[in-house]
C-alpha cells in the first residue's frame, strides 16, 4: 500500500507519531502504521505477519475515508473562512515614524530606512490621522490590538511616538480591548524618557542585535564605518535592568549562518531571555545546499540547548522554535500574512499605506494615503490563490505557503513560493515538531506546564 499524503513522521523513544499536514492533527500511531506510512515494505514483512499488515492497512483506509491523512488545501479554505475579504478587523497599526536611520546596515531591506522614498519623519498631524483612521476601524469585539513603531530607526522621532502613545491612551476608554505597544529599534538611542515611556506603557521592545561583535560590527555599522555593537550591547543591558518585556533579533547573512548558535548563546549570557533570528533574503543573497545543512545543524544545537534549559527551569529561549511549538500546540496556523488579510495598516511617514511593513515603497502594494477623502485599506487588490506546489507539502498550515515579500524578491511574483523560504521553513518546522514531541514523551510534567503557558498566552 502506498499513501500519497501530506504528513510527517517522528519516532521518539519507541513511540511513533504522525503529523497530518492536511488537518494539523498530531496522532500517536502504532509501529506497524509507521512502517506502512514510510512505505518500508521490506521492514514490514520482516517484523509483522500478513494478517497484521492487512488489518493495519484496512484501519488506515477507514481513517483516510474519514479525512485523516487525506485532506488537502486546508490553508486556502481556512483563509476563506476566517481571513477572507469581508472580515474587517484592523487590529494592528504599523507606523513608520522615522523613515531614516543612523546606521548603515549591510543587509537593510529598508534601503537604509528610507525604503527608497524620501528620508523623512512622520509629522504629528499625519500620525493623528493614521491613529484616527485605525481607531475608527478597529473591530468592536477585538480584545488585543497592537501598535507597532518601526523605521528606519523609530526612536529618532521620539516626539511622535510619545504623541501617539499619549493620544491613544487618552482614548483608551472608547477602545474595547487591550492596547499593546511594540517597537523595533536598533538600540543605539536611549535616554531616561525613553525608558520611562517603555516602563509606563509596558512596551514590548525588540532590539536588533546580532549577538557577537564579529558579525554585528561587520553588518551593523554607523555611516563612519564604526561598528555599533558596544553601544547597542550597553543600551540593551541598561534596558534589561528596567524592563523584562525585551527580546533580541539576530539577522544573519549567508556567511554568518555558522555563528548562529554562538550569537544566540552570547545574548542569553547577556541576560536576554528570548532571542530570535532571521536569515537575510535579498536578490544578491544566494543560498546553497551547504548553507541549509549548516542552518539545520545550528538550529538542532539550539533545540538541544533549549531542551536542557526548559528542563532546568532556565528562561533562555530560542524564540523561533519556542513560538513554532506554541503554534503547533494552539493550532495557530500561518494565516496572518497582511497581504492577504484586511487587518493591518502599515503607514509610511507621509501617510501612504501598504499591505505589509516590508513592502513600504513598493508601488504595486500602495493602498492609498490617509489624507485621501476616500482612503480605505479594506479593498486590497490581492486575493489568496491556490498554490500548486504547496498542496502536497506537510507544513502548509504553519508556513502560510510562503511570504509574498520573499516571493517577490526571489521570483518576482507574490504567488510563487521562494525555494529559500521553503528550505528555511521546513528546517524550523521539522526541528520544532521533534522538540515538541520529545518534551511530550520524555518530560510529561514539563509538557503540561508548557501547554498551559501556551494556551494562556496565545
Binding footprint of ligand SF4 on the chain (CB under 6 A):
101, 103-105, 108, 110, 112-113, 151-153, 186, 208, 337-339, 356, 358, 389-390, 393, 395-396, 399, 401-405, 417, 421-422, 425-426
**Smaller CB separation from ligand SF4, 76 or 450:** 76
Nearest to 59 by CA among 38, 39, 30: 30
Shortest separation between residue 196's beta carbon and ligand SF4, angstroms: 23
**Smaller CB separation from ligand SF4, 112 or 177:** 112
Shortest separation between residue 7's beta carbon and ligand SF4, angstroms: 13
Name every residue whose Cβ is closer than 8 Å to that of residue 83 and which is 6 or more positions away in sequence: 335, 336, 340, 341, 384
Shortest separation between residue 421's beta carbon and ligand SF4, angstroms: 6
**Smaller CB separation from ligand SF4, 101 or 431:** 101
**Smaller CB separation from ligand SF4, 434 or 440:** 434
Whole-angstrom distance, CA of residue 374 vs CA of residue 218: 46
Beta strand 204-208 with 144-151 is unpaired
Shortest separation between residue 223's beta carbon and ligand SF4, angstroms: 10
Name every residue whose Cβ is closer than 8 Å to that of residue 225 and which is 6 or more positions away in sequence: none
**For residue 369, how many C-alpha atoms fall within 13 Å in the half-sphere facing its CB?**
8
What is the arrangement of strands in the sheet containing 366-369, beginning at the earlier edge strand? 317-318, 274-279, 246-252, 204-208, 178-185, 144-151, 92-98, 344-347, 352-354, 366-369
**Smaller CB separation from ligand SF4, 260 or 409:** 409
Shortest separation between residue 203's beta carbon and ligand SF4, angstroms: 18
Residues 154 and 183: beta-carbon distance below 8 Å: yes
What is the arrangement of strands in the sheet containing 7-12, beginning at the earlier edge strand? 7-12, 15-20, 26-29
Shortest separation between residue 268's beta carbon and ligand SF4, angstroms: 22
Whole-angstrom distance, CA of residue 15 vs CA of residue 30: 8
Shortest separation between residue 284's beta carbon and ligand SF4, angstroms: 16
**Smaller CB separation from ligand SF4, 316 or 320:** 320
**Smaller CB separation from ligand SF4, 371 or 386:** 386
Beta strands in 21-143 (DSSP E): 26-29, 92-98
CA distances from 452 to 42, 178, 315, 320, 406 (A): 42, 21, 16, 19, 34
Amino acid at each position: 500500500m502506498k499513501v500519497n499524503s501530506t504528513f510527517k513522521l517522528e519516532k521518539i523513544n519507541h513511540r511513533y507519531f504522525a503529523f497530518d499536514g492536511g488537518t494539523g492533527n498530531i496522532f500517536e500511531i502504532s509501529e506497524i502504521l509507521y512502517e506502512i506510512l514510510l512505505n518500508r515494505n521490506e521492514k514490514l514483512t520482516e517484523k509483522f505477519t500478513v494478517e497484521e499488515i492487512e488489518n493495519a492497512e484496512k484501519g488506515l483506509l477507514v481513517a483516510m475515508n474519514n479525512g485523516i491523512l487525506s485532506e488537502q488545501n486546508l490553508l486556502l479554505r481556512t483563509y476563506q473562512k476566517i481571513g477572507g475579504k469581508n472580515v474587517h478587523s484592523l487590529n494592528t497599526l504599523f507606523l513608520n515614524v522615522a523613515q531614516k536611520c543612523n546606521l548603515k546596515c549591510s543587509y537593510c531591506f529598508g534601503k537604509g530606512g528610507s525604503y527608497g522614498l524620501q528620508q523623512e519623519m512622520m509629522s504629528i498631524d499625519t500620525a493623528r490621522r493614521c491613529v484616527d483612521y485605525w481607531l475608527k476601524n478597529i473591530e468592536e469585539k477585538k480584545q488585543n490590538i497592537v501598535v507597532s513603531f518601526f523605521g528606519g530607526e523609530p526612536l529618532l522621532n521620539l516626539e511622535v511616538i510619545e504623541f501617539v502613545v499619549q493620544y491613544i491612551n487618552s482614548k483608551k476608554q472608547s477602545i474595547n480591548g487591550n492596547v499593546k505597544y511594540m517597537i523595533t529599534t536598533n538600540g543605539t538611542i536611549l535616554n531616561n524618557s525613553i525608558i520611562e515611556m517603555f516602563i509606563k506603557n509596558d512596551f514590548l521592545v525588540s532590539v536588533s542585535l546580532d549577538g557577537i561583535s564579529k558579525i554585528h560590527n561587520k553588518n551593523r555599522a554607523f555611516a563612519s564605518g564604526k561598528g555599533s555593537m558596544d553601544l547597542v550591547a550597553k543600551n540593551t543591558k541598561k534596558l534589561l535592568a528596567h524592563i523584562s518585556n525585551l527580546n533580541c533579533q539576530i539577522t544573519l547573512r549567508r556567511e554568518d549562518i555558522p555563528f548562529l548558535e554562538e550569537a544566540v548563546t552570547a545574548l542569553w549570557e547577556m541576560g536576554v531571555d528570548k532571542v530570535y533570528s532571521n536569515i537575510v533574503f535579498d536578490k544578491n543573497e544566494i543560498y546553497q545546499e551547504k548553507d541549509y545543512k549548516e542552518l539545520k545543524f545550528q538550529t538542532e544545537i539550539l533545540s538541544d540547548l533549549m531542551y536542557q534549559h526548559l528542563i532546568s527551569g532556565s528562561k533562555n529561549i530560542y524564540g523561533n522554535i519556542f513560538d513554532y511549538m506554541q503554534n503547533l500546540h494552539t493550532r495557530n496556523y500561518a494565516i496572518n500574512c497582511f497581504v492577504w488579510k484586511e487587518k493591518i495598516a502599515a503607514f509610511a511617514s507621509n501617510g501612504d499605506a501598504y499591505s505589509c511593513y516590508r513592502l513600504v515603497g513598493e508601488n504595486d502594494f500602495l493602498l492609498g494615503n490617509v489624507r485621501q477623502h476616500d482612503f480605505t485599506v479594506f479593498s486590497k487588490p490581492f486575493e489568496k490563490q491556490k498554490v500548486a506546489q504547496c498542496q502536497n507539502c506537510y507544513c502548509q498550515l504553519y508556513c502560510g505557503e510562503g511570504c509574498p515579500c520573499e516571493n517577490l524578491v526571489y521570483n518576482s511574483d507574490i504567488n510563487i513560493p521562494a525555494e529559500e523560504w521553503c528550505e528555511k521553513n521546513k528546517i524550523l518546522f521539522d526541528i520544532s515538531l521533534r522538540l515538541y514531541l520529545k518534551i511530550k514523551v520524555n518530560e510529561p510534567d514539563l509538557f503540561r506546564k508548557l501547554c498551559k503557558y501556551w494556551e494562556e498566552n496565545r
